[in-house]
Amino acid sequence: MKKLLATFLALILTIQIFSTHATAAGDPPPVIAEWETFWNTYDLDQMGSLFMNNDALTYFSSEREGLIRGYDAMMEHQKGFGFVAGGKKSDAKLWLEDIETDYVGDVAIVTAIWFFDVVRDGKKVIMKGPVSFICSKDTAGKFKMQHVNFSNY
């Protein structure tokens, strides 16, 4: 009986701890809208305000296999998509729908469906798939992306 009571109390305490630090779904941190602008302007100069500049930054692309790790590798990946300093004009457009956000302490967990309209072989194509972002606060208290995971439908 003591063991059952101890297990029950441990479960109640665990639930209390997690519910104290987690908040209900809310609006995504501003970095998500800033990231959409980044994709639509192809401006590499925005990288530092969007992504944590550390070796723990991780990114799974829907366009290539394997884990991209670290800020420098992420920069090279973006250059491969045509991103340049100062940005450039593009007819392609990326946007997010069905955005859901949960906060756990100072971490924002954001999920969405990404859409990307692009012209391929002279034909307009709309690509889409799920994406998740894990954003944490930098030393100045601004949310930045620490992990991104793209997939295709």
Task: Quote the pTM value.
Answer: 0.81
Nearest-CA neighbor of 59 among 70, 71, 50, 68? 68
The SS3 assignment for 4 reads: helix
Identify the pLDDT of residue 18.
Answer: 47
Q: pLDDT digit string (tens) for 68-121?
A: 999 999 999 999 999 999 999 988 899 999 999 999 999 999 999 999 998 888
Q: pLDDT digit string (tens) for 48-69?
A: 999 999 999 999 999 899 999 9
Identify the pLDDT of residue 46.
Answer: 96
Q: pLDDT digit string (tens) for 106-138?
A: 999 999 999 999 888 888 999 999 999 999 999
What dihedral angle (degrees, nearest 10) is formed by the CA atoms of 66, 114, 146, 28? -160
Strand 22-23 to 93-104 pairing? antiparallel
Q: What are phi and psi of 136, to 5 degrees?
A: -130, 165
Q: pLDDT digit string (tens) for 29-52?
A: 999 999 999 999 999 999 999 999
Identify the pLDDT of residue 30.
Answer: 96
Does residue 8 carry a pLDDT above 70? no
Cα(first)–Cα(last) distance of the chain, in Å?
51
Instruction: Assess contact for 30 and 50: CB atoms under 8 A.
Output: no
Instruction: Assess contact for 6 and 13: CB atoms under 8 A.
Output: no
The model's confidence at residue 13, banded by pLDDT at 50, 70 and 90, is very low
Strand 58-60 to 67-69 pairing? antiparallel
